[in-house]
Amino acid sequence: MAPTVDTRSAWERAQGGGFLEVDSRSAMAEELELLEGQERFLDEAIQGGRKELDRVRGQESLKACQAARPAVVAEAKILLLALRKAEKANRKIRKLFENLHDEGHMTGSLPHADYDLGGAWNDPRGGRLVFFCKDVAGHYPELKDLAMSPLEAE
């Protein structure tokens, strides 16, 4: 079926009751324009709400982190003390092996028992342990003395 083209003027269509068609098109266009405006308004409102949510979440997170900080500091101190103790034990074990070697003994029947902490305490060449200590000292100034002091100071 071929499409039909209405070539009548708006006046002719209005006389035949076709004015509703013209009005409904313009009404739909007006409604579309209104809806698009409302959509832009709602997008702006949502963006503003998200910004406010981020701000409030940030404030609440800061409060929660500040409240948890003393417990984190206490646990980090325990961890530093344990690492210091492990490094001291490593040094003693290495010294025992060194003494055995100095006395001319072979140590093949004595398995090594030292633990790789990722470097030595305050090693100037760095390493995982030194990085950890510097990181803790930088983020928790209250632990800086413990994290950065030499083991011999104890």
The pLDDT of residue 3 is 56
The structural domain count of the chain equals: 1
In a domain, 6, yes or no: no
In a domain, 58, yes or no: yes
| Separation of alpha carbons 28 and 32, rounded Å | 6
Reply yes or no on whether the pLDDT at 16 is more than 80: no
CB–CB of 73/140 below 8 Å?
yes
* Residue 138 lies in domain: 11-153
pLDDT interval class at 14 (50, 70, 90): low
CA 76 from chain centre, in angstroms, equals 20
In a domain, 62, yes or no: yes
The pLDDT of residue 70 is 97
In a domain, 4, yes or no: no
The stretch 122-134 carries a mean pLDDT of 92
CA 123 from chain centre, in angstroms, equals 30
Reply yes or no on whether the pLDDT at 4 is more than 90: no
In a domain, 3, yes or no: no
In a domain, 2, yes or no: no
For the CA atoms of the chain, what is the radius of gyration?
39
In a domain, 5, yes or no: no
In a domain, 22, yes or no: yes
